[in-house]
Chain A
C-alpha cells in the first residue's frame, strides 16, 4: 500500500486527466451558479408576471370581489400551470391604496370602498415548493426561494380632479395629442391622447378643461394661465375609446349600399351628344339628378321631407359651389373638388376618392355631410353654424377614411370630424367641436375653443356621454 501511494504520488502519468477533471469540476460549479441563477430568475419572472396578471384581472373586476378572486385564480392557473401552488387563495387580498403613503392597506378605505388588490407569490422551503437547483446542489445549495408581489388598483372612468363632462369639445386621439402655443380652451373641453398629451406655453384653460391619457405620466403641461388652477385638477389618467372610428366601415358600407341602388355608374349618361368640343359633358348634365335618397345614414338636416336628390358622378369632377343644390347628395367614384366663393347648405358630398374644398374666405358650409378617402376643408372657411352657440346640434359631419385636413384660420362650430388622421390648422376657432383620430393629433398654435355650456345633440352616438362611468373600467399597476 505504501509503495502504491509512493508510486501514485510520484507518478506523472495521467496528470492531464486529473487537471481536466478538476477543470470540469470547478467549471461545473461556476457554470452551475450561472445556470441555477438563470433558472431562479426565470421562475421569479414567471411569478411576477402571474401576480401582475392576477392583480390586474382582480382589480378590473373589483366591483364583484368573489368574481374578481375567481378570475385571478384562473389567470394564475393559466400562467403558472403546475407551479400554481406558489399563490394561494389567501395571497389575494382586497383593500385600498393609502393616498399618503401609497402603500396597500387590506380592507376597505374610510369611505367603505375597495379599490386595490394585492397578490403575492412564494416558492419557499416553508411552503415546500422551493425551486430545486440543478448543479449547485452538489455544493450544498439544493433549493432557491423566490417571491413576487403586485398591487393593482381599479381604474375608473372619472378620476383625477372633479368630474367634468365633455359637452363643449372632445379632441380624442388613440395616439398622442400635441398642442401648440397660445391654446385657449374654455368650458367642458376634453383633450385625450391615449399615448400622451403635451401642451405648449402661453395656454389659457378654464376650470372644466380636462387633459387625459392612459398614463398620468404621459401628460406634460407647459405653464399655463391662470396658475391658480392646479395641474392635478386638469389632468386625468383614464381610458377613453373612440366611438365612431371603429364603426367607420359600417357607416361607409351602409352609405354606399343606400346610394348604389340609385347610381348605376356603368350605365348612366351613355348619351354623349351634348359633349363639348373637348369631349367634356356640360356641367348641367354632370350634375343632373339621378335618383332619390331613401336611406338612413345621411343626417336629417341634408334631407327635405325625409329624402334628398342623388347626383351620381362617375369621374373626377371639379364644380363651382354655386352649382351645387341644397338637399342633394353628390356621390362620386372619383374625386370631388368644390371651387368658388359661394357658401353651401344642406349638402352631402360622398366620394370614393377625395373631397377638396377650395375658394376664398368668408364662406360658410352649414349642415354638411362629407364622406371621402381624404377630405380637405380648405382654409378661412366657417364650418357649421356661422356664429358660435347659436344651435344645439352638430351641423357638420366629416368622415375621412384616411385623412381630414383643416386649412388655416378655419372656424368650426358644431362640427364632428372622424378620421384615422386629422390635421387641424393653426389659428383655429371652434365651439362644439368633436374629433376622433387614430394617429397623433397636432393642434397648431392659437387654437381657441369657446364654451357654449350646452350639450349638442348628434345624429351619431358620440363618446362624450360615455365618460361619466365611475365603475371599474380597468386596472393599473401600483406596485
Chain B
C-alpha cells in the first residue's frame, strides 16, 4: 500500500511515485555508470558548439556577400546621380527600395566638390541569423563618383 503524502495545504495520493521512484533511481544510476553510447552523448554535448561555430562562419560569409551587394547598390546610385538621371533624394529612395528586405537600412547620397557619395548602412542583425545579434555591428558600403551632369531628376 502506498503512503498518502501531504505537502502544506495540498494533499494527494502519490502512490504512483512509490512504485516508479525506486525504479527511476535505479535507472539513473545504471545510466550514469553505463558506457554504451557514451560517444553519442559526447557528440550531442558538442553539437551546440559545432553548430554555433559553423553558423558563425556562415554568417560572416553571408555578411560579406551582402556587403558586396550593398556596394553594387551604392555604385548604381552614385552613377545615376553622376549622370544626372536622379537627384540625390531620388537616389536615396532607389537605395531604400533596393534594401527593402533589410530592416533598419539607412541611405544617404550627397554631393560635395562635384563628387557624389552614396552611403548605405544596414544593421548586421538584419543580414545574419545569429552573429549580427551577438556582434551588433552595422554593415556599410559607400561609393564615390565624379558628377558628370547635374540632373533635374524630374
A residues lining the B interface (CB < 8 Å): 12-17, 19-20, 23-24, 27-28, 31-32, 34-35, 38-39, 41-42, 45-46, 49, 52-53, 56-57, 60-61, 71, 74-75, 78-79, 174, 194, 214, 239, 241-242, 245-246, 420, 438, 473-475
Q: Shortest beta-carbon distance, A141 to chain B, in Å?
A: 16
A–B pairs, 6, beta carbons within 8 Å:
A13-B38, A17-B42, A31-B61, A45-B68, A56-B82, A473-B148
Task: Decide: A60 and B68 in contact? CB cutoff 8 A.
Answer: no
Chain B 21-79 interface residues, beta-carbon cutoff 8 Å to A: 35, 38-43, 45-46, 49-50, 53-54, 57-58, 60-61, 64-65, 67-68, 71-72, 75, 78
Q: A14-B42, A16-B41, A42-B68 are in contact. Are A420 and B154 (CB under 8 A)?
A: yes
Q: How many A-B residue pairs have CB under 8 A?
A: 121
Which of A15, A75, A214, A420 contacts B144 (CB under 8 A)? Answer: A75
B121 on interface, CB distance cutoff 8 Å: no
When chains A and B are docked, how far (Å) is the Cα of A71 from the Cα of B154? 28
Task: Decide: A78 and B65 in contact? CB cutoff 8 A.
Answer: no
Q: A14-B42, A16-B39, A24-B53 are in contact. Are A38 and B145 (CB under 8 A)?
A: no
When chains A and B are docked, how far (Å) is the Cα of A183 from the Cα of B135? 63
Q: Which residues of A contact B111 (CB under 8 A)?
A: none
Task: Decide: A23 and B71 in contact? CB cutoff 8 A.
Answer: no
Task: Decide: B149 and A474 in contact? CB cutoff 8 A.
Answer: yes
Interface SS majority for chain B: helix
Further 19 A-B residue pairs, CB within 8 A, beyond A41-B68, A75-B145: A12-B39, A15-B38, A16-B39, A16-B40, A19-B46, A20-B42, A20-B50, A31-B57, A39-B64, A42-B71, A45-B71, A53-B145, A56-B148, A174-B154, A214-B83, A241-B149, A241-B151, A241-B152, A245-B152
Task: Decide: A239 and B57 in contact? CB cutoff 8 A.
Answer: no
Which of A24, A41, A74, A420 contacts B115 (CB under 8 A)? Answer: A74
Task: Decide: B68 and A19 in contact? CB cutoff 8 A.
Answer: no
Q: A24-B53, A45-B71, A79-B144 are in contact. Are A15 and B149 (CB under 8 A)?
A: no
